[in-house]
Amino acid sequence: MKGKATSFDIAHYAGVSQSTVSRALRGSPLVNEETRRKVVEVARKLNYKVDKNASNLRAQQSSTLAVLLFEDPTSDESQINPFFLSMLGSITRACAKEGYDLLVSFQSSSNDWHADYAESHRADGIILLGYGDYIDYQAKFARLLDTNTKFVCWGANVDGRPELTVSCDNQYGGRLVAEHFIELGRTDCAFIGDASHHSPEFSARFKGFEQRLQDNGKHVSERKMATAISTEESGYQATKSLLANNITFNALFGASDLIAIGAIRALQEAGLRVPHDVSVVGFDDLAVARFCTPPLSTVQQNTTLAGQMLVANLLSLIGEQEVDLANSILPPQLIVRQSSR
Amino acid sequence: MKGKATSFDIAHYAGVSQSTVSRALRGSPLVNEETRRKVVEVARKLNYKVDKNASNLRAQQSSTLAVLLFEDPTSDESQINPFFLSMLGSITRACAKEGYDLLVSFQSSSNDWHADYAESHRADGIILLGYGDYIDYQAKFARLLDTNTKFVCWGANVDGRPELTVSCDNQYGGRLVAEHFIELGRTDCAFIGDASHHSPEFSARFKGFEQRLQDNGKHVSERKMATAISTEESGYQATKSLLANNITFNALFGASDLIAIGAIRALQEAGLRVPHDVSVVGFDDLAVARFCTPPLSTVQQNTTLAGQMLVANLLSLIGEQEVDLANSILPPQLIVRQSSR
DNA sequence: CTGAAAGCGCTTACAG
DNA sequence: CTGAAAGCGCTTACAG
């Protein structure tokens, strides 16, 4: 036999028809147990593997999901936010468990937008990940909905379609941070992030934070807020600009760990001690958080669970089944380390 | 039109044959420029996308690569070594640039070994990544070679097939660390890692380290070596065991950054100051290295270049072309931070 | 339970 | 430069 074995080769050697080979290998209940055993053995001997291109073409499905990782266009190319890498890990695992393959793609600019993973039948559905600009997202969502592509999205809401989103309860996470600062007696707070509608996750975190402070008769002065994207450098610069304007505060909430880490660097360079002069809390609980100086207090998002929910919900969507909405908003958890007290 | 448009639909509306549509869309030089324009326009209007399953089946190739990430079975499931995540990022980018899709899979146990990505025509070639056990690897290599699967491997050599490997010059990296310690006057060295043939990368690092010390009339006493896999916890435990036996040293080389970070924790817990009492150097230059306490000196591997070379070499293999051997061993670079002096 | 046959949507000789 | 036709390797009605 030259080249790879086909189902016809197996049929030949097993003394059955090609249709029976196909049924036997796919576990059809129609096939006699004896026959199946024979087929499976021949297949193993000839090292036969079903050609996925052929079966996918015929069955009109791909048993493949695609994950698109949007990178903030303003962040530098080389460093992907570890948070999403961690999500990627758990998504990969969840896919494997469900028998799906996973295509991965980074979307750095808007022009190489790969909605066509689905349209070209390479994937049955798409998972969207990233701290992108929310406004940009809406156009992409429209395109996906338009082509009837199955997709789920991390973090950002699709108008009127809650079943398409899995997210952390960002607002509750923000409340936890405020509560922590209140307990510490540190209510002169700064916020570094982007509380605008461009970043729905960051602004939800801010909203919860601000609300909890207001419950306590406090609030974040607009002067003590600085915009940053989710990078160490951006957090550093934003904090520096605050300090350069002689803005003072005794607590700082970074909308992500990378931002908080950059903020700590800016504070320390300015001669301020963390947590003695300023308590700092981040958001994400990256692996680095434990190893910072000082170790960073933060709000942990459960990426394992998040990945599992994204995959589970996407498969529900593909299978036209009910999505588990109740578990699609994941509760975050405050982790107190040495950067706040 | 119901469902997705096919090339026949495009042919119909463009007033040409289906073969011409296929040629036009694939950029065949055979087709008239005028005709092509017409076809392309109709295709765009109908939102037509070539069905990858069909074209792959027919053309007998998939324009897809697969990356298999082997995890050390002894490491805990949730945390993937950030070094490989970073490699994954650069591989993804390199694939996209070459017009290939990327399938990703984590191989945690030996039984879900996905060599069949290639056999089932889902991928044209495979990239192997991970700090696995070298002995285990050999069996996998044999299987891949046996089925004539195209693959490249990071780090581990395939006997007599240098074209299948891309790696960092680990031995040279080890030399750099020894040289650094010698310059600091710290030659009472400990090594934490696995210098056995189970971990060819770690043992190459050790070999270069030891050689350079010997050039200087020194060496690493076997008592001052402790075995560890590439996790923080393992580095911590290994270092603790050394200290528990009252082994002393004034410099420590961790075979990876995670190991070195764990070692620092063990040293600090034992009341030793880094770098005052012990200089510590790691290997990899993870993103965390900069944020450690103290910031970790390390040997940087260029993951961007590594990913590019892996993809480039694999494509050469697939295209039956000469592999660029000269650039397949990447020079590492010593990064001195505060953990050594 | 099994087989013969159609067909998924393309690419690519072959003939003009 | 273009078209008619074969065929990639499967899955799945259809008939028995």
Protein CA at A18 to nucleotide C1' at D11, angstroms: 11
Stronger pLDDT, B95 or B4, i.e. the higher one? B95
Q: Is the pLDDT of residue A72 over 70?
A: no
Counted domains in chain B: 3
For the segment A200-224, the average pLDDT, to the nearest whole number, is 94
The per-residue pLDDT for A75 is 46
CATH at residue B180:
3.40.50.2300
The neighbour count for residue A81, using CB atoms within 10 Å, is 23
pLDDT per residue over A76-121, tens digit each? 455 667 788 888 888 988 888 888 889 988 776 545 565 678 888 8
The per-residue pLDDT for A1 is 45
Cβ distance of B119 and A92 shorter than 8 Å? no
Protein CA at A30 to nucleotide C1' at D15, angstroms: 15
B340 lies in a domain? no
Pair (B138, B94) in one structural domain: yes
- Give the integer Cα–Cα distance in Å for A87 and A54: 31
Asked if residue B50 keeps its beta carbon closer than 7 A to nucleic acid strand C, the reply is yes
- Give the integer Cα–Cα distance in Å for A36 and A5: 18
The per-residue pLDDT for B120 is 85
Enumerate residues 93 to 122 of chain A having a beta carbon within 8 A of any beta carbon in chain B: 93, 96, 101-106, 112, 116, 119-122
Among A132-141, A301-310, B199-208, B314-323, whose mean pLDDT is lowest? A132-141
What is the average pLDDT value for chain A, to the nearest integer? 88
Q: Please, is B217 exposed, middle or buried when counting C-beta atoms within 10 Å of its C-beta (0-12, 13-18, 19+)?
A: exposed
Residue A57, nucleotide of least CA–C1' distance: C8
Helix (H) or strand (E) holding A67: strand A64-70
Report percent pLDDT > 90 for chain B: 55
A119 lies in a domain? yes
B56 lies in a domain? no
Asked if residue B54 keeps its beta carbon closer than 7 A to nucleic acid strand D, the reply is yes
> Which nucleotides of chain C have an atom under 7 angstroms from any protein CB?
1-5, 7-13
Pair (A184, A294) in one structural domain: yes
Helix (H) or strand (E) holding A300: strand A298-300
Q: Where are the beta strands (DSSP E) in chain B?
A: 64-70, 101-107, 125-130, 151-154, 165-168, 189-193, 225-227, 251-254, 279-281, 298-300, 329-330, 333-335
Pair (B164, B310) in one structural domain: yes
Asked if residue A31 keeps its beta carbon closer than 7 A to nucleic acid strand C, the reply is yes
- Give the integer Cα–Cα distance in Å for B193 and A311: 37
**Min distance A201 CA to chain B CA atoms (Å):** 24
Cβ distance of A57 and B62 shorter than 8 Å? no
Q: Is the pLDDT of residue B298 over 80?
A: yes
Say if residues A206 and A221 touch (Cβ distance below 8 Å). Answer: no
Pair (A24, A138) in one structural domain: no
B34 lies in a domain? yes
Pair (B34, B107) in one structural domain: no
- Give the integer Cα–Cα distance in Å for B254 and B233: 13
Asked if residue B42 keeps its beta carbon closer than 7 A to nucleic acid strand C, the reply is no
pLDDT per residue over B8-51, tens digit each? 999 999 999 999 999 999 888 888 888 899 999 998 888 888 99
Q: Which residue has the tokens 């109709």?
A: B42
For the segment A216-244, the average pLDDT, to the nearest whole number, is 93
Pair (A323, A249) in one structural domain: no
pLDDT per residue over B199-211, tens digit each? 889 999 999 999 9
Asked if residue A180 keeps its beta carbon closer than 7 A to nucleic acid strand C, the reply is no
Cβ distance of B101 and A122 shorter than 8 Å? yes
Interface residues 5-44 of A with strand D (CB < 7 Å): 6-8, 18-19, 22-23, 25-26
Protein CA at B175 to nucleotide C1' at C11, angstroms: 54
Pair (A162, A307) in one structural domain: yes
Asked if residue B32 keeps its beta carbon closer than 7 A to nucleic acid strand C, the reply is no
Contacts of B53 in chain A (CB under 8 A): 53-54, 56-57, 62, 121-122
For the segment A228-232, the average pLDDT, to the nearest whole number, is 88
Protein CA at B154 to nucleotide C1' at C9, angstroms: 37
B128 lies in a domain? yes
CATH at residue A41:
1.10.260.40
Q: Is the pLDDT of residue A73 over 60?
A: no
The per-residue pLDDT for A84 is 85
pLDDT per residue over B229-274, tens digit each? 888 889 999 999 999 999 999 999 999 999 999 999 899 999 999 9
Q: Where are the beta strands (DSSP E) in A151-297?
A: 151-154, 165-168, 189-193, 225-227, 251-254, 279-281
- Give the integer Cα–Cα distance in Å for A184 and A256: 21
For the segment A192-209, the average pLDDT, to the nearest whole number, is 92
Stronger pLDDT, B207 or A232, i.e. the higher one? B207
A2 lies in a domain? no
Pair (B210, B277) in one structural domain: yes
Residue B23, nucleotide of least CA–C1' distance: C11
Report CA A309 to chain centroid distance, whole Å: 10
Give the SS3 label for residue A267: helix
pLDDT per residue over A5-50, tens digit each? 899 999 999 989 999 999 999 888 888 888 899 999 998 888 888 9
Give the SS3 label for residue B275: coil
Cβ distance of A47 and B93 shorter than 8 Å? no
**Min distance A68 CA to chain B CA atoms (Å):** 11
pLDDT per residue over B54-108, tens digit each? 999 999 888 899 998 877 555 445 566 778 888 888 898 889 888 888 998 877 6
Q: Find the residue closest to C7 using CA and C1' atoms.
A: A58
Asked if residue B8 keeps its beta carbon closer than 7 A to nucleic acid strand C, the reply is yes
Residue B26, nucleotide of least CA–C1' distance: C11
Contacts of A77 in chain B (CB under 8 A): 93
Pair (A213, A308) in one structural domain: no
3-state secondary structure B4-67: CCCHHHHHHHHCCCHHHHHHHHCCCCCCCHHHHHHHHHHHHHCCCCCCHHHHHHHHCCCCEEEE
Contacts of B82 in chain A (CB under 8 A): 82, 85, 287
Pair (B113, B156) in one structural domain: yes
B263 lies in a domain? yes
Say if residues A105 and A306 touch (Cβ distance below 8 Å). Answer: no
Q: Which of B4, B104, B120 sits opposite A102 (nearest CB)?
A: B104
For the segment A152-175, the average pLDDT, to the nearest whole number, is 92
Pair (B160, B309) in one structural domain: yes
Q: Which residues lie across from A129 on neighbouring strands? A: A69
The per-residue pLDDT for B69 is 84
Contacts of A291 in chain B (CB under 8 A): 261, 288, 291-293
A·B CB contacts under 8 A: 122
Q: Find the residue closest to D6 using CA and C1' atoms.
A: B58
Q: Which of B54, B101, B291 sits opposite A292 (nearest CB)?
A: B291
Nearest CA in chain B to A104: B102
Stronger pLDDT, A180 or B131, i.e. the higher one? A180
Pair (B121, B178) in one structural domain: no
Q: Where are the beta strands (DSSP E) in A133-271?
A: 151-154, 165-168, 189-193, 225-227, 251-254
Q: Which domain holds residue A135?
A: 64-168+303-330
The per-residue pLDDT for B314 is 95
A55 lies in a domain? no
